[in-house]
Amino acid sequence: MSAPPDLPEIVERAFAVSRRAGYVSFCRNETGRLLATLAATRDGTMAEFGTGCGVGTAWLRSGVRGEKARIVTAELDTRLAGAATTIFEADPLVEVLTADWSTLLDKGPYSLLFLDAGEPSEVGVDRVADLVEDGGIVVLDDFTPSEGWPPVTYGRVDTLREQWLTDDRFTAVEVMVATDAATIIATKR
């Protein structure tokens, strides 16, 4: 499988690295295009918690305009972090850390923070609210679209999604990026 030709070059490289590493769990193109669009509006430090092989970070980097922004990303798996490092080794605006996401706690505040919703205990609003600057954006992906309220996934109330959509510290919206995928975008007030 090859990346579609209309992808940014850095994203194509990230897909190639992911394939070579045998890693298939990465940011969807629909979410990636959203990340690139949001990154284009940001200065300051952006971060991704859980790099994998760097596809999400590549999408963020493809949107960065100018030299005022930088991206820091952490991946606990040494093999995956090493793979991601090869994508960005010559890029002074991207730093890949082989570490748990908590390593990034002292590197903020962040103007944009990209999180995978797959680990609810780690991405709850209370755990990350203070990591984002006022006006900063948090993007959480990997939600299944929900049509009603409260949001229900797999027959249960999706408490993570409910937290993000109702927290007074953020203005948030759920956005369908594909018929089977939703993302939450939350801006800190």
pLDDT score at 2: 55
Q: How long a stretch of residues is the chain?
A: 189
Q: Is the pLDDT of residue 4 over 80?
A: no
The domains of the chain are located at: 9-188
* Mean pLDDT computed over every residue of the chain: 90
Range 168-172, long-range pairs (CB < 8 A, 24+ positions): 169/125, 169/129, 170/125, 170/129, 170/138
How much is the pLDDT for 117? 66
What kind of architecture, by CATH, is found in domain 9-188? 3-Layer(aba) Sandwich (3.40)
**CA contacts within 13 A on the Cβ side of 164:** 28
Residues facing 138 on adjacent strands: 113, 186
pLDDT score of 119: 54
Condensed to tens digits (0 to 9), the pLDDT of residues 76-126 reads: 999 999 999 999 999 999 999 999 888 888 888 999 999 876 654 566 898
Work out the number of other CB atoms within 10 angstroms of the CB of residue 148: 6
In the prediction, which pLDDT does 116 show? 76
Taking the alpha carbons at both ends of the chain, their separation in whole angstroms is 42
Render pLDDT for 8-20 as a digit per residue (tens, 0 to 9).
Answer: 999 999 999 998 8
The pLDDT assigned to 95 comes to: 96
Is the pLDDT confidence value at 171 over 70?
yes
Q: How far apart are the C-alpha atoms of 58 and 55, rounded to whole Å?
A: 5
Mean pLDDT to the nearest integer, 41-57: 92
Q: What pLDDT is stored for residue 174 in this prediction? A: 95
- pTM of the entire structure? 0.90
